[in-house]
Every structure is written in C-alpha cells, then in structure tokens.
Amino acid sequence: MKKLIIGVDVGGTNIKLGLLNSSGKIISRSRLITVTFSRDQHRLIKALCDAIQALMAKNHVQRKDILGIGMGLPGPINSAEGVVKYLPNIPGWNDVPLGRIIQSKLKIPTFIDNDVNLITLGEWKFGVGRGYRNLVCMTLGTGVGGGLILDGKLYRGEGFVAGEIGHMLHSALKQKSTFGFYGYFEHFVGNRQLIANGQKIFGARDIRIQDIFAKAQQGNPRAIRFWEEIGEHIGNVLVSIINLLNPRLIIIGGGVANNFKFFHPAIKKIIQQRAMKVHGQMVKVVRSRLGDSAGLIGAYVLVKQELGLK
Amino acid sequence: MKKLIIGVDVGGTNIKLGLLNSSGKIISRSRLITVTFSRDQHRLIKALCDAIQALMAKNHVQRKDILGIGMGLPGPINSAEGVVKYLPNIPGWNDVPLGRIIQSKLKIPTFIDNDVNLITLGEWKFGVGRGYRNLVCMTLGTGVGGGLILDGKLYRGEGFVAGEIGHMLHSALKQKSTFGFYGYFEHFVGNRQLIANGQKIFGARDIRIQDIFAKAQQGNPRAIRFWEEIGEHIGNVLVSIINLLNPRLIIIGGGVANNFKFFHPAIKKIIQQRAMKVHGQMVKVVRSRLGDSAGLIGAYVLVKQELGLK
C-alpha cells in the first residue's frame, strides 16, 4: 500500500532528503552537497533523482510504496504547473518544468514549491502554527523569506511569488541604504549585515553569528544591544505586516531564530507601541518549532494536499 | 418577487443610500447628514431605519421586494456576526450588533461590513477590478484605507481588521514623524498632511486639495512636484505591498484619486525601480472606476454573497 512520502529541500549549498511515514514523521534522512555541481542543471537533476533512489534503496522501499515526492526550491515556483521560474542563487534555471521531469524519470507523482512555502506549510500543520487560520512565517538567514497562511490556505500570489518580506521597504534613522534612507528589509537583518555589524561592534573580522549569541549569553551588553536592535528592525517590519494582514500568529524561523530569546522582547515592545490596538493585541510572535525539518515536513503536507488527501 | 437591494454607506459626515436593481444598477439614491446626531447611537440607528423606509416609500417598494440591506461603516466590523466593534470617528459604538438590530426593526436581512471592504467588493465585481483574482484597493482621504482580494475572495483578517494600509510604517528622509523618522503611511499622504504641505508650499492658509490640483493643471511646477512627491510616498508603500502580496492590480480610490494623473507616473517609476522584477512587471496601478458609488455597489455584492446568490 502506498503511504510513504519523500521530501526534498533544495538549498543553495546542500540538499536535504527525508522519507516520511503516513503520519508525517521523518523515518530516514540523507543529505547531498550541491555546491560543486549546481551550475549544471542536468547534473543537479540527475543527482536529485539518484539521491531519491538511494534513500529508497537504503530503506528497502519501492516505487509502489511512495505516494509522492514533495520538493522545495529557493526561488519562485509555479506550483500549479511544477515549473521552476528561476533560482536567484543557482544560475541557468529558467522556466524548468522540474516537477514533470522528475516525475517522468522516477515514475512517482512529484510536486514542487518555494522552500519557504514548504516551511510555512510544515509549521502550520505540524509545528507551532497548528490550528491557526491566519499566520505569517518569516525565515531569517542570508535572505529573509516569508510564507502566508490566509483564511486557512497557503497564499501564493498572482505569480506564485508572494511573501517576499525581505524585499519590503525598510528604513532606519542612522543607516543609509539602497535607496537613500530606504532599503530592503533583508539588508538590515540578513546574515551579511549582521556579520558586518558584529565586525564593527566587536572589532573582530572573523566573528560569526553564533559568537554574538554566545556573547549575549554571557551578558555582554554590546551583544545584548546588538540583538535588541535586530528585534527593533523585525518589529518595525512586522507592524506593517500586522496592520495590513491582521494575522493571529507570526512564526520566526531560519538560523538566526536560534537567538530568538534575545531579540523577541524588542519585537514585542515595538508591536505593542506601533501596531494598531486590535491588531497588536491578537497577534503572537513565536519561534518556529520544527527547525531544520520544517521544509521536509512541509513537503509531506504539499503532497497530501495536492493529492487531495486530508 | 424579491430582487432589489438597499445599499447604505455610513461616513463620518454623511450617509449615502441607494436602491439597486437585480443587476447591481443604482436606480434611486438619497443622502443624510449624520454629523448632527451621530453621537447618539439610538438616534443614528433610528435615522438609518427612517432613511431606508423613506427610500423604499419614494420608490413604491415594499419589504417583499427587497432581498437584503448591505451597509458599510467606517471601522472594524465583524461581518460574520454583524457586529460593529467600534467606530474610530463616532464615539460610543462598542460591540453593537447593528446587523441584528436593523434586521429586527425592518424585518429585512441585513449585512454589514467595513466601508473600504465594500468599496473593494464593488470595484472588484463591477468596476476596474472585474475578473481579477488578486488585487489591493487603497482609498486616499482623511485616512488611508485598504481592501484585499486574495485568491478570488475578500480577505478580512483574523479579527476582521486587515487592510490598514494607512497604518503601515513609512519613512521619509527629510520628514520626522510619529516614531522618529518612522510614521504611519497616512501621516504622509492623508488629507491633513496634504493641506499642511500645500499651505507651506504656496503660503496660502485656506488652500484646498482641489486648488493644488487646479494649479497642477495650469502647469505650476511646485504643484506638479507636490503631486509627484505624493506619488513617491504611495509608490514606496506599494513596493512593500507588492513584494509581500504579489497582486495583479492596485486600485486607487478616495477623493485624492481625482489627482491620479499627476501622481501616477511617480508611482510607476518607484515600482519599476524598487519592486522585485517578477512582482513589478505583473502589477498594474489604476484609478478606481466607480468613484462615489463603489460603496453602494459593494453593498449589493455583499448581500448577494451572504445570501449565496451568484
């Protein structure tokens, strides 16, 4: 009886794979480093198929056991047609019907979507967003992504590219940015900016984000202020989102969310001060629960939804 | 045979009423000045009922001819339960079950919603937004409102207060605002700010918005620049909305939209420069088509939707 699902989470530097059982639990995992061959589209597709088959073989699973493959990719995806429009960090992908290609190679139903959309689906159905009808999921990393559950449904937008929180316009008093005093939100809180700020504050060229976390843990006031300022930036962009979309929940994920406890108080304060009263009182900001597995679990949700199951 | 609908558009200073035929055409209108008795809730409700009955009498229409009453009000409305949560500009309205009250007084099914939501429904079904699945309607006036059609449905938000574009955070290089260099968008483009700016630029204390329009018509460069700057503000907030929601259409309504031709080029330019490419290329910014009648026509759409017709 077909009941397993394969989840694939394609990132800029590596690919995570997972075999999920009928209740959405990851029962086996594997990982693939993409960076060496990602510039060659055909090699990447072949590597994907090989990795899926290897995961199946390792688990003594056959095609007939698999309901479908769900795959998340870092870029705009026409999920209805299974087409990768392009991948900002992997050149050469333009309107590639990846869903159909994988499906015809492996003879397994394959569905693809944007990676942050899958994280959002995962957190919504199995993580901290369970039972919510209106939520926004924000992922903090090199870029800043977003996924929207509106009226109990993933909202993808007219061209499947909604949720670009990192490209909302943002501004800060002291900081000149891309457009005069305006800039994209991710230029204020993306990893590169965080590291650049950390280098400046601590005078250490090789500082990493986890070092600034460790310093904050030790009570270093400059590190604590560093995270507070991140929280203020996040809070300000969230105020706009909250007043526009009136969500019940905001989920913050991505690597930087490990520092949640240091930036969350500032977010709360800004929302309290600046969001409209009704909007601000009903929204909660929480850390993602599924961490690294959210995308794979979201792939499970996607396959189930697309096949009309549950 | 019941086939007529009564639309009511409650504003801060007056109430518009319309009788609409089965195809959504306004066949009779009336108007009521509210400002004198709006502070007394019961008087306002009685005046609403009297005005509806007077409109019916004037048109020789009886209760049996009316499918329903649709009513828009300037504030957050729980449209599912017909409850006015509050009205920012009319004190004393807190959790008033206005739908049920009117319905029990007049014995006609009554549905209420936020006024900008009704304008959005009107423009979507009968105006410039016909046939679109994803659009944002922005109304410029004393305040700045917004309505969202997402995935072919009016999106109201968790607490029925989505769409507060006027309360998105906005910033401008030279202008200090509510929160340091941040401020709410409507503090930059609301009527009061426009008039204050106009007074400063033209040194005329009694200047009206239509005067600045007339000056722009005559080619006055300061007036042309005045509208261009409004367009830049609007463009910047739209970039955030476009990157977040990926709509196909933006509709600009409200009194200030009369000056559309003077601020539209600046909006287009900012979107071209700052929206993400895929998002920016697929979105169009247009002026509302139904003008003053949008709310009444939206009331027709609301009643039809709520009764499950069409």
pLDDT at A33 (0 to 100): 84
Question: What is the separation, in whole angstroms, between the first and last Cα of chain A?
Answer: 17
Which of B173, B197, B177 minimizes the C-alpha distance to B187? Answer: B177
Which of A303, A292, A289, A288 minimizes the C-alpha distance to A146? Answer: A288
Starting at the edge strand found earlier in the chain, the sheet holding A144-149 runs A154-155, A144-149, A135-140, A249-253, A284-287
Q: Tell me the count of A-B CB pairs closer than 8 A.
A: 132
In the numeric block, which tokens belong to residue B101? 């009250």
pLDDT at A142 (0 to 100): 87
Mean pLDDT lowest for which of A32-41, A243-252, B140-149, B155-164?
Answer: A32-41
Task: Please tell me the distance from the alpha carbon of residue A107 to that of residue B216, in angstroms, as a whole number.
Answer: 65
Q: Where in the sequence of chain A do the CATH 3.30.420.40 domains occur?
A: 4-119+293-306, 131-288
Task: Please tell me the distance from the alpha carbon of residue B259 to that of residue B212, in angstroms, as a whole number.
Answer: 9
Task: Please tell me the distance from the alpha carbon of residue A34 to that of residue A167, in angstroms, as a whole number.
Answer: 26
Mean pLDDT of A222-235: 96
Are B169 and A236 a contacting pair, CB within 8 Å?
Answer: yes
Mean pLDDT of A187-196: 91
B53/A contact by beta carbon, under 8 A: no
Task: Please tell me the distance from the alpha carbon of residue B106 to that of residue B112, in angstroms, as a whole number.
Answer: 15
Task: Please tell me the distance from the alpha carbon of residue A248 to that of residue A213, in angstroms, as a whole number.
Answer: 29
Mean pLDDT of B94-103: 96
In the numeric block, which tokens belong to residue B6? 């009564």
Chain A residues near residue B246 by CB distance under 8 angstroms? 156-164
Q: Which of residues 64-83 of A touch B (CB under 8 A)?
A: 76
Please name the residue of chain A whose CA is at the shortest distance from the CA of residue B159. Answer: A246
Alpha-carbon gap: A157 to the closest alpha carbon of chain B (Å): 5
Query: Which of A278, A282, A284 best tests the B interface by mutation, with the highest count of B CBs <10 A?
Result: A278
Question: B104-124 pLDDT, tens per residue?
Answer: 999 999 999 999 999 999 999
Asked if ipTM goes beyond 0.90, one says yes
A243/B contact by beta carbon, under 8 A: yes
pLDDT at B178 (0 to 100): 56
What's the CATH code, domain B4-119+293-306? 3.30.420.40
Alpha-carbon gap: A239 to the closest alpha carbon of chain B (Å): 7
Question: B223-265 pLDDT, tens per residue?
Answer: 999 999 999 999 999 999 999 999 999 999 998 999 999 999 9
Question: A117-129 pLDDT, tens per residue?
Answer: 999 999 999 999 9
Are A2 and A66 a contacting pair, CB within 8 Å?
Answer: yes
Prediction pTM value? 0.95
Burial of A281 (0-12, 13-18, 19+ CB in 10 A): exposed
User: Which SS3 state, helix, strand or coil, does residue B271 take?
Assistant: helix
Is the CB of B133 less than 8 angstroms away from the CB of A158? yes
Helical H runs in B91-190? 98-106, 115-126, 186-189
Chain A residues near residue B159 by CB distance under 8 angstroms? 246, 278-279, 282
* A131-288 fold: Nucleotidyltransferase; domain 5 (3.30.420)
Alpha-carbon gap: B162 to the closest alpha carbon of chain A (Å): 5
A235/B contact by beta carbon, under 8 A: no
Question: A256-279 pLDDT, tens per residue?
Answer: 999 999 999 999 999 999 999 999
Chain A residues near residue B179 by CB distance under 8 angstroms? 273-274
Helical H runs in chain B? 41-58, 98-106, 115-126, 186-189, 191-202, 209-217, 221-245, 260-274, 277-282, 294-306
Mean pLDDT of A191-203: 93
Task: Please tell me the distance from the alpha carbon of residue A162 to that of residue A277, in angstroms, as a whole number.
Answer: 26
Q: Which of residues 210-229 of B touch A (CB under 8 A)?
A: none
Is the CB of A157 less than 8 angstroms away from the CB of B245? yes
Question: A81-97 pLDDT, tens per residue?
Answer: 999 998 888 888 899 99
User: Which SS3 state, helix, strand or coil, does residue B183 take?
Assistant: strand
| Closest by Cβ to A133, choosing from B148, B151, B158 | B158
Alpha-carbon gap: A245 to the closest alpha carbon of chain B (Å): 5
Give CA angle at A247 (A244, A249), nearest 5°: 140
Alpha-carbon gap: B176 to the closest alpha carbon of chain A (Å): 10
pLDDT at A185 (0 to 100): 92
